[in-house]
Every structure is written in structure tokens, then in C-alpha cells.
Structure 1
Amino acid sequence: MFLLSGIETEREKHTPVKQDTAWEAVVKAMATGWNRDHESRGITQGGKISQETFIDTYDPSVLRREQYMLYEIKWSNNKRPRQNCCHSTQTEHAEIYFLEDVFQKQRSDPSAHCFITWFVSWSPCGDCCKQIRDFLKEQPNVKLFIYVARIYWHKREINRQGLRNLMNIGVSIRVMYLPVYRYCWRTFVDKEDKYEDYWPRHFAPWIMLYSLELQSILQNIPSCLKISSFKNQSPVFSLCVDEKQKRALALANPYYWGAAACCAPRDTGAGCGELLGRARGPLGREPSAGSQPQTGIETEREKHTPVKQDTAWEAVVKAMASGWNRDHESRGITQGWKISQEDFVENYDPSVLPSVTYLLYEIKWNHRRRHWQRWICSAGGEHAETYFLEDIYRKLRSNPFVHCSITCYISWSPCGYCCQEIMDFLEKMPNVNLVIYVARLYWHKEETNRQGLWNLENIGVSIQVMDLPDYNYCWRTFVDDEDKYDDEDDYWPRHFAPWIMLYSLELQSILQNIPSCLEVSSDENYTPVFSLCVEDEEQKRALTSANPY
């Protein structure tokens, strides 16, 4: 069995004015508004789709009314697959047109095994799922793989149940991920109309969100994704996951999707159905002091609230400023300088918003082989960064010209004031190289904090969001050995991945000095809600470097 790649996604009720109105328009258009004039619908006479149509209809960050299908049929008695395109008609969805028209014309030998791969811009509705099941019961030699760019009305139980039913009879349902997009680009897009370097990296956040929602559908757990839209505005994708859902959704982790895998289908007889096999991703990579930026890109910690945003953030600031002491045992720091498992997991989980700041640090001197590794947390009257700088300065002031590399792993990014203190420190210590990894961004909407991070980056400080290999490295390096899981190698915070990506996007927007794309709030159960809204194509492309692939 191979691991499903980007995991399935969903297309939500959205609306120019209110959701139902927009979705009624979508359904009406799909049912009555289209014809199969291929040239006018972006499909050439040679069965290829135009570049413009492909990008417009398969972009998961927008909610288009059209439904397109790119399909590949491979027969066991014919080495050459048939590849073509179609779209919905006045009377039927693309799936039904394929089953009743395309497949019947292609089939010549009922005993031959057939592998069919669909790449659809919207997932099948509940009614289409039922007809697909009936079709597969009548055709036992057919194996079907479905890749979807979005999920159709993902909140409707009939559609959720339909997708589960398909999975239960062996249909592979997956969200289209980046290598699949590239495969479709090379295979189905008209050659005269495309450029070779197409790589839709800015699709990654929406692939992740749809993957989480599809996984919730297939595991039959509550929905975690809400999509809303208002007239003349970009869709807002909101992620809300409670503690029980996090573990269940760990499979929806793009680091398992095989970033370096080949973009052409394997010779398995399944066409693109096994585009990527099981690939664990960069598990073995461990960051070293002074290393270059790693994959997951910058993150942010947003104003959040048990009741309303300001109240929660005032509580966070108050606790950071006046409420803490440096009683190491009570703060989870052992006498052997290592942090307890419980404190590490609780304070470095990017999906929650704790009020304490922890800082793990590692110093490497050029003339020493052994690293100096310690950790601290915020105390009464000063932030963790301030105490850290004072401690480091005492260690280095005897020889300010010594060359060293310092790597910090901080549970919250530095505030604007701490950023200025870091800059002053580096001015006194010109031979110090500083790399900062953050689990969250502190008050990312505040201009002083955004400017502070931007200033640090401009003087050569590397600021990055902690990626999964960074968590793994910190677990092995800084967590108390007596307090770890029985099998420490099994620690792998896969459910962190969505929040790593969201924070990475926001940090990238800070460092590129473009508008914020992330909102963090709380629902009625005080569960953090992370909402992604990217306004236009220019902003999307500016954020492409925040791509973990």
C-alpha cells in the first residue's frame, strides 16, 4: 500500500452575497449553463486544455463554477494510455459524461483490466459518487484513482458520505499536490500555449487545507475547514482543529508526500495513480548552529482571545511582563539543564497559544568542537530574549572578537523591543552569527513587531519558522532523556504541519513587507481558529518561497 499524498480537499459553500446564493449559482451553472464546445471552453481539437483554462479552473485558492476533468485510461492489453479532457454539460457532470460516454466508446475487451485516473477541478458530489459505485460494481476489472483540486460542498453529509463510500470500495481519492499539478501541466496542457517552468508553488497552503478536510471526511470526524467569501473579495479559509482531531489528521502531512519524487507516473499500470509512493521526507536532516534557512518558512503569532482578541493578548503580555519567575524545576527545567517532555510539547505546539515564552539555544565557537546548549524561559520583568542576551554577553564579553554561531529555538518570536535589543547586541558583537527559529509569531499584526523582524532580517539574522526536522532535532537535543517517550525516535509532530505552513506564510509576508495574510482568533470553545486570506495573484506569488515542498 502506498501512502496517499496530499490528502483530500473540499470545496465549501461560498457566496457573492451569502453562501447559499453562490452555491446555487454553481449548481445551476454546472447543470444547465455549459455546452461541450471545446474550443470555447478552453479545450483544443487535439484534446488538450489551454494554459489559461488549466490555471484558472485548477487553482485551489479560488472558487470557480466550472468543473473540468483531465483523464487517463490505460488498458492491460495496450501499452499506450489514452489522455484527454472534458467538462460538465447542460445535463450532466463531467464524471457521468465520462462513465456513460467516454468509457463505453473506449472499451473493446471486457476481460481486459483497466486503470483510470481522473484529475478533477471539483470532487464528485454525492449523486455522482453513487453512480461511480454502481459503475465499478458492473466493471470489476476497472481500478479508479481520483485527484481533486477542491472538494464540492464539503459540509454536506451526502457528499462526505459519498466520498467515504468510494474509498471503502477501493477508490483512491487524493487532493492534487504539486507534483500532480506538474504532471498535468506536462501531459494535458496545450504545448503551444505553455511555458516549461510552470510550478504552482503558491497552491501549497490550499492543498494543505483541503487535504486536512478530505482526511476528516475519509476518517468520518467533524469538519475542520470553513470557507467563506464576500462580494468582490478573496475566499477566506479558516482552520479549526481540536486536540482529538489533530492526531487523527496527522496523515494529512505534506512532508510525507515525497517532495523529490518523480513527476511522471510510475510504470505500475495505474497511470498517475501512483505518482508518488511512500516517502517520509527530510526526517534525517538536523539543523546545525549557523545553518542556512530550512524548509518551512516564517511564522507568526496572532492576537487571540478566550473572549475577544485584546483580552487574551493582554493576558499574554501581562504574564510575560510580570507573572513569571525563574524557578527552573517549577517551569519544567531540570537540574541537568534539559527541558521536560511535557513543557516542550505544550509550549512549542504551534496550534495552541500558551502565555509562556521558552528559548532553547546552542552556541558553537569556531575553536571548539563541543556546542554549548541550554534553555531559559521568560521571568518577571524581562522576556526570554533579554535574559538570553545578558547571559550570552557575560560569556562572550571577555573576548568580543571571538567567532561563534548562535542558534535559538523560541516558542514565540521576539517583540519589537526585543528585536532592537538583539540588534544592539549584534552591533557590539560583530563576529556573532545568529539564527532564530520560532514556533509562532508574536502579535503579528502590530507594526512595531513586524518592523522589528524585518530589521533583524536586513542585518543578516536568519529568521525562520520551526519546521518538522527542527522539532525533531530539539526533541533529541534539549528534552530530558528520562522524560521522553519509550521510543524517542518515534517522536514526529506530524499534526504541526498545517500551522507551520500558515505561520510560514505570515512570516514571509512580514519579511517581504506585504500585507498580512493570517488571522488568529478563538471559537466558542476557546479553540484557536487560523484564517488564511491572500488578496490577489501578486501576493500569492510573493509568498511562494513559503513552500515546504
Structure 2
Amino acid sequence: MEWLDVRTFSFHFRNLRYANGRNCSYLCFWVERVNPWSSDSSDFGVFVNQVYPQTRQHAEISFLSWFRAEMLSPDEQYEVTWFLSWSPCLACAEQVAEFLRQNRNVTLRIFAARLYYFWKPEYRAWLRRLHHQGTLVNIMSFSDFKYCWEMFVYNQGMPFQPWEDLRENYESLVEELEDIFRNPVERLGVPSFSFHFRNMPYAYSRNGSYLCFQVERLNQCSSDSSDFGVFVNQASGHAELSFLSWFLEEKPSHDEQYEVTWYLPWSPCLRCSEQVAEFLMENGNVTLSIFASRLYYFWKPEYRDALRRLHDQGAFVDIMCFPDFDYCWENFVYNQGMPFQPWEDLDENYEFLVEELEEILGNTMNLLKENTFEQQFGNQRRVQAPYSRRKTYLCYQLKRHDDVTLHKGCFRNKKKRHAEIRFIKKINSLNLDPNQNYKIICYITWSPCPDCARELVNFIKSHDRLSLHIFASRLYFHWIKKFQWGLQQLQTAQQVSVAVMTHSEFEDCWEQFVDHQGRPFQAWDKLDQYSESIKRRLRRILTPLNENNLVDSFRGLRLGSPSPSSLRSDPR
């Protein structure tokens, strides 16, 4: 059927909350091939429930049968839109979900005039399953009814006339649908994650967006220190805006510091970027890290500018790498105990997107907030109030031999990728002139771990004209032998020096890397005393008393003639 008559449409599509005597269901569809080179790129029409005993079949199943037989090809991408008088029943929802699971090249949008048995738990559950699987499920609005009237109704040129309670019923049904979807949800299904988070540089038919989040209170005294979940795009707004609304309702305290982490299939759109930047400006006690699987319209100047504004406002923006996908799989997906299996081109796509993001952000650098600097770089033995975990931050300046700064930036540890490793990768990407002399000054909150120390040594060995000067605020596990060994390896490497930050280094770090608004650096209580204590500790590590040192020391005492055995060197 290609057209509906006016009376059928007006009766069956009226968006009553509770509709009696409307047992039949109609499906108006539009199918579009995404491939622009296809000569027959779209199709449309109407299906209706078959009520005869021999051919009894709902409109949704009739569509799937027709689509499989007439259009479906594994080599093409399809965008399918349905306008339904009723949302799908249990059996139809199950079959539609299975069809979408088997055909990842098809995306489906459903606009329903009414919700079918929306008060029954099993019907709500199946709508949620469709939604979480990536189907956009929405309530028909005035513009949708008008579109259907013009596209699918034999209207004889008459304009669409809305009924009296259309808007009121629409708002009521939207509210009901949002309650069904219960944002945020706990986890994603495997098909939704595998399809929507795949990091293709150019991704078609992935119109839905998800937001996997983790919120951490930095106040260690809090009994409820973290929260996590998944937001899905709603009719009322994108997942990012849904998160902001939820956060402001659930985490209202301005006396606590929050670290928020997002994992997104798409980087934020223009409107979301603007509102997130405004949110960060108004909530200085919140830091936000955004890890995106893909970049949304990254070739358009206005989208690039939006990412830069977010970055400048203090949001940490990065591309998801293998450890991030693995972390999401473990924490946000109903994986049934299965390990994450990376797709073939994951690393290659990651490298492409990282280069694109670095080109967008250029040499811009997130300045640290004052409280972040004081909490993270503070060299006190005990964490100061408000109590928070001290993480690794690495601030660096790349300078020419004449002391001109060429590049500077700040990294912090990212899950399974330490700040030092990210720093090495960044410097390598700059393609320094091998015939020029350079030096790098690093201010780091914690001294490097053994693995990072080894990587830094290998890095400096591959750059003959580069010197590295590391200033650490604190020593990381300084009482453990292998951590001491890492520092010794760094110190003995040519072109590397390891030292402790003193007042002058803290002041320079403040001037270069903190958004201080013109305020001078104010030393905290006992800063110099703590620095001296840490310097003595580092000196003992870098000049260990070995057996030969002891022999030499005893010789210096001149207590008697040395024995012949003491003159022999230690065979080890």
C-alpha cells in the first residue's frame, strides 16, 4: 500500500494516551540507501496488520519480510524510518531486535503515535532493549504527523489540521517514554557497543549516541565516592545534556571536588560543546575528561572550533585507544564474561584520529586550575584537605639551545598509559631536527615508575642532541628497590638529570602551567623544609652505599694495617 486515506490516518494515528477501538496498526516507512552512487536510493510506502487467519501478521513483520526480499544487501548501508500508529508489541519488538542484530548495516528510527501497553513491565522492557540496541525510539510530534500527512496520506491537497490535544498528549507520551528508558542505564548490550563504538574515521548510519560515565568524588571521607552508568540520546536532548541534568540533580555539593570521565562514540556536537563548556565555567570544582571513539564532523571549521573551546575551558579531550575500549567493555557492557576482542583496524584508526585531534587542538594547552596544582604538586607528606588522591601530572617545556620555548604542554596519567609515555609519544611526533640542540624541562608530581624510567632512558638514547631535566615534587615508592633502581638508571644515563622541585621550580611551574589569573605563587607551609627532606632522600638513592664504599670508608679511619684480603676487589 502506498497511501492512506484521510479518515484512516486521522483515526488510527491520533495520539491518545489510552486509545480504545484501535486494534489495527499501520506502519509508514521510508528506506534510504546511504551509498550516494546507488541509482535507486530510496523507497517508501505503508504496511498494515494482516488480520486474515491464513495471513495473520503485524505490519512490522510484513515490512521485514518485504525488506529482506526486495532491498537488503550486505554490501550497502540502509537508514530505515518507521512512523507507527502503535509502538511494537512484544513479538514484533523481539523480531526487530534480532533482525537488527543480524544486519548491522541497517539502522532503524521508530516514531510512534502511541505507546502499546506502556504500563506493563514486559512491554517496557522490550522497548528498552530496542533502545539500548541502538534503535532511536521516539514519540511522533506535530512535525512528524505533518510529514506523514504530506508523504503517506491521499490528502487531495488539503493541509494537515492538528487535533486539539495533540501537543498535550505528545508531551505526556514523551515523559512516559523517558521514564521507560530510565536514563542512566547500567550497561550496554554487546551489539550496541560493538557497532556504535567502532572507531571508523568516517562512520555512516551511526546516528545514536551513548555516554559511558564515571564520576569520582575526590573527598576520600565520602561514603559514596564514585558513580557510573550509561546515558543514551533522548528525544529531549543528547546524552551529554542528559548527563549534565542528572549530575546537577544528584551531585549538587560545591564543597567537594569531582573528577568526571566520559567515553563517547562521537565527540560532542556544537550545542553540547557549548553547554558543556558553560557548565565547566560555572562549576570550578568539576574536572572533565572526554575520550571519544570518533570525531564528529571533524572536517567542518565550526566543529573544530567547538572542540578547541572545550579544550580551552579545561576539558581534557582525547581519542579512545585499546585500553579505553577494553575498560569500557569491562565496566559498561553486558559482556557475559567474554574478553574484549579488538577489530582489525582499531590501532590504525586510532593513530589517524589522534593526528586529526592534535591538528585541531594545535599547540593549545590546558592550564591547570589553582586548586589542582596545589593538591597535585604539593610536596607535603600527607594529603591536605580537601582529601584527594594525588595522581601523576607532567608539565614540560621544550626549548632550543638559546632558551627559546618551542613547545609546552601538560599530561596526566590515563588508564594504563602513564603521563611519561604520553609525553614521549608527543615529543616523537614533533619530528625534531636531528642537527639542532634541544633541552626539555619536566615538572612532575611523582617520580617515574621503573617502566617509565626505562622508556625515558631509551627515548633519550635515540635523541643525541636532546637533554632532559626532570624535577619531581615527590618520590614514588622510594623505599622499594626496583623504584630506586629506575631513578638510578635515569641519573646514570647521559643527557638526563633528576632533581627535586624547590621553591623556584614550583614558582616557574605556577607561572607557566597554571591558570592563576595574574596572582603570584604563594608557597604553602614548610615547602622548603619538605623539599630539603625529599632531596636528602633522593641523594641517598642516587649515591647508594655499596660494599666498596664501605671498604673505602673504613680505610679512611686508619684503625690499623689493612689485611691483604681487604686490598683485593670484591669478586662480584
In which range does the TM-score fall when normalised by the shorter chain? Answer: 0.3 to 0.5
TM-score, normalised via structure 1 length = 0.37
Output the TM-score relative to the length of structure 2.
0.35
Q: If you compute each CA radius of gyration, which structure gives the higher value, 1 or 2? A: 2
